[in-house]
Amino acid sequence: MHLETLAVHAGRPTEASNAVTPDIVLSTTFERNTNGEVPSGYKYGRYDNPNRRALETRLAALEGGAAAVAFSAGVAAAAGVLSTLQPGQRVLAALDIFYGTRHLMTGEFGRWGLGVDFADFTDLDAVRRAMRPETALLFVETPSNPLIQITDIAGLAQIAHAGGARLAVDNTFATPILQNPLALDADYAVHSSSKFFGGHTDIVGGCVIAARDDADTTRIREHQTTAGAVPSPFDCWLLSRSLATLPLRVRAQTATAQCIAEFLAAHRAIRKVNYPGLPDDPGHALAARQMHDGFGAMLSFHVAGGRAPALAFVSRLQLFTRATSLGGVESLIEHRASSEGPDSKTPQDLIRASIGIEHADDLIADLEQALT
């Protein structure tokens, strides 16, 4: 079936009540029969829940994976993948990666001895050189945050597998509507469901979708239930509801982002636009090969003149909301270096935008008045 159909029907349970919209099961525990067995398969809310199981079925179907594991945040999903590593093994991560994921690897897992190496993943030779015998996991984001760089998923998978390592792709920016990492030979697709999956800026969540339901996937599931970073039944229900419209939202947002990128690229107050949908973008050819149906709803751009004009431009916007995060129905914009704080390596003239489902003409009019 097509993604539009799976987004509505995958994991849709048949309720005892014949309700068309699934019930929310809040119960934390489930009654055993007189033999001590659990006839429903559910024991306790941390282990499993009907709404979570329905969500995981839908997520696995959308990414074309063998299994999905839902978490209470995107960073918890990344922690689930890192939990597959053994002491002494190392992770090799892209330089341009979400700063929370970087902190998780070097700060939290680093304290327990996880070795972390970084490389420029847009250069496959640099990735090959950075591989070590202990490298067991490669972790990449494409398109990346905040420079919207494109990396070659199939090429990375080949390097990882040749070295006995696995490849995890954070597919938050593209979503399975535009890019399918597992079909390009990645082992895991990781998401912050707080972004396009939720789509309405009202859920924090995450998930891992695995290509195979093997021992490492069992480990990720054990991490989910043992460490307990599980999403609530209501969040699972709400997220399943949001996923039904994911194909419609992402296609509309992507089409508008393309128009906005073209408008900004032609404006003399803008020094440079980072968007793979522009023909002269360094990632364009690769993105055209490995993505489909457009280039995503995230873009970033450099305002001519540096930090002060960049901040002034953002302060004049009326329709775009100044806030971090992305993927919602409303367009958001931020001066990324301010959001990341004093340690940020992000250029001071860089603005990141997440394009929502408003009409392109209204968004462009707002950008125009703020740039003039």
Ligand X SMILES: *Cc1c(COP(=O)(O)O)cnc(C)c1O
Using CA atoms, how far residue 348 sits from 167, 211, 316, 357, in Å, is 32, 39, 18, 28
Residue with smaller CB distance to ligand X, 6 or 81: 81
Q: Which of 238, 219, 207 is nearest to 74 (CA)?
A: 207
Angle between helices 246-265 and 360-371 (to 10 degrees): 30
Angle between helices 74-82 and 215-227 (to 10 degrees): 130
Position of tokens 């920016």?
A: 173
Residue with smaller CB distance to ligand X, 337 or 370: 337
Q: Write the DSSP assignment of 20-32 as a string of letters.
A: SSPPP---SB---
Residue with smaller CB distance to ligand X, 122 or 194: 194
Residue with smaller CB distance to ligand X, 30 or 145: 145
Q: Write the DSSP assignment of 330-371 as a string of letters.
A: S-EEEEHHHHH-TT--S-TTEEEEE--SS-HHHHHHHHHHHH
Task: Find the shortest distance in angstroms from Cβ 145 to ligand X.
Answer: 5
Task: Find the shortest distance in angstroms from Cβ 308 to ligand X.
Answer: 27
Q: In what order do the strands lie in the sheet with 332-335?
A: 270-274, 298-303, 350-354, 332-335, 321-322
Residue with smaller CB distance to ligand X, 30 or 196: 196
Asked if 134 and 89 count as a contact pair (C-beta separation under 8 A), the reply is: yes
Task: Find the shortest distance in angstroms from Cβ 101 to ligand X.
Answer: 6
Which residues of this chain interact with ligand X, rule CB under 6 A? 73-75, 98, 100-101, 141, 145, 170, 172-173, 192, 194-195, 204, 206
Dist. CA 129–CA 110, nearest whole Å = 22
Task: Find the shortest distance in angstroms from Cβ 176 to ligand X.
Answer: 14
Task: Find the shortest distance in angstroms from Cβ 5 to ligand X.
Answer: 27
Q: Which of 206, 215, 179 is nearest to 62 (CA)?
A: 179
Residue nearest to ligand X according to CB distances in the complex: 74
Task: Find the shortest distance in angstroms from Cβ 368 to ligand X.
Answer: 28
Residue with smaller CB distance to ligand X, 169 or 182: 169
Task: Find the shortest distance in angstroms from Cβ 298 to ligand X.
Answer: 9
Residue with smaller CB distance to ligand X, 141 or 216: 141
Position of tokens 């990346």?
A: 144
Residue with smaller CB distance to ligand X, 30 or 84: 84
Task: Find the shortest distance in angstroms from Cβ 195 to ligand X.
Answer: 5
Position of tokens 């680093």?
A: 110
User: What is the DSSP secondary structure assignment for residue 281, as one 8-state letter?
Assistant: S
